[in-house]
Structure 1
Amino acid sequence: MKFAVLVFPGSNCDLDMFHAVEDTVGEQVDYVWHTANDLSQYDAILVPGGFSYGDYLRCGSIAQFAPVMQEVRKAAEAGKFVLGVCNGFQILTEAGLLPGALIRNNSLQFRCHPVDLVVENTGTAFTNAYAPGETIRIPIAHGEGNYYVDEQTLEQLKANNQIVFRYQGHNPNGSVDNIAGVSNERGNVVGMMPHPERAVSELLGSKDGARMFTSVLNAWRERNGAAIGR
């Protein structure tokens, strides 16, 4: 399996994402610059956190026009696996690959600390290694993580089982319905504000994020007829 970690001007979690893949699944992983115009060799595309293009205008609003995003759209439409974390989630919503928008935290403060999440959907490519309703601990680090959709879209998300994670207990940013992560209808594209790549070892305070990477490897192996597990 081949992973691509996209790099935009202002990305700062690309190294974390790269090493999370190496440490959890040991598969091939490459940094891919925002000007790339071919992602055909990759099975999974990871859009990391940071401040792409300085977060000018609106988080992710400039990155959505980068050449590589056309290839991300093609990959998503072809059923390849796409994960956007924090700024990556913002980019995917701006690009129309996921519903909703990320706005300023209701506290108007940057929040950086671990949170508890409930795994609401284990049917996506990135959550099949979790148990339904399981509580996991993953850190956040964002100033614009307040997920918003209108009431009609929220009902559609619920009906289609597209809510992947919810904050348990305290909602750190005001997200509607405590939503911390969502997927597209097919379940091959997932976006979330918490950082699973920063929770892949007990040395980091939690290894609950590691199963997101083993999940997508499982999904790829199942799709390609290989044995699941490592």
Structure 2
Amino acid sequence: MSVDNNLADQGSEFWIFGYGSLIWKPPPHFDRRIPGWVTGYVRRFWQASQDHRGTPEAPGRVVTLIERSYWESLTDHHDKPPDKVWGVAYRIIPERVAEVKEYLDIREINGYTIHYTPFYPAPDVDSAQLPNGSREPFKTLVYIGTPDNDQFVGPQDPQGLAEHIYRSEGPSGLNRDYLWGLERALNELSPESGDDHVTDLANRVRAIAEKEGKAAEVLAGLEKVLEKERRHHEQPHLFRKVTSVDEEEETEKKE
């Protein structure tokens, strides 16, 4: 998607937009975190994950962004999504931009490519946190698994997708924890930031856990995972180049 020329002048500032796990698992070396949204896209669990929430033999599912014009040509089994895709923009410390770009490029090798899109800050964001104090949209980098990448799976039956997510697991943990973590993170951004696609899948996965008599067990496990991640990300980042899936969670499977 082309970037609107009528954007706030952000000078040399570098911002990244997170619409998946980046919302609650920040990149290294950021000094500002701004909730808001992008337009012209649809968020869907239509990207396979062979390296974090699944394996090459049994890929999990993570989110990607799909251009709305392309999404409209498909048969989706979920309701029409809103115009806004909520997420978070992070400003990377200027002297660390090159390192963080390399870090993200390595972590997003499994089907994601770089794009730029205008980001609209939420109305209640302090203007002092925005580029030049302007409330105009500003340019952000975003990683997207486009339909032509080999990990894009396209529209799926919602119940089948929920069952797939419930049973998938990879080096970064359970696929359902990723789904529930995203649901919670989105709901915490704003009263209007929830995503019906995400919530529907989360409810279906909870129903599967209930049916199997494991609801209390799996939800307790989720709380432990989220608390561990919260403590980790409150600590200073020890930045290092990563070359394997032994690294912690993906930054943006975004997911």
Same fold (TM over 0.5): no
- TM-score, structure 2 length as denominator? 0.26
* Larger CA Rg, structure 1 vs 2: 2
- TM-score with structure 1 setting the length: 0.28
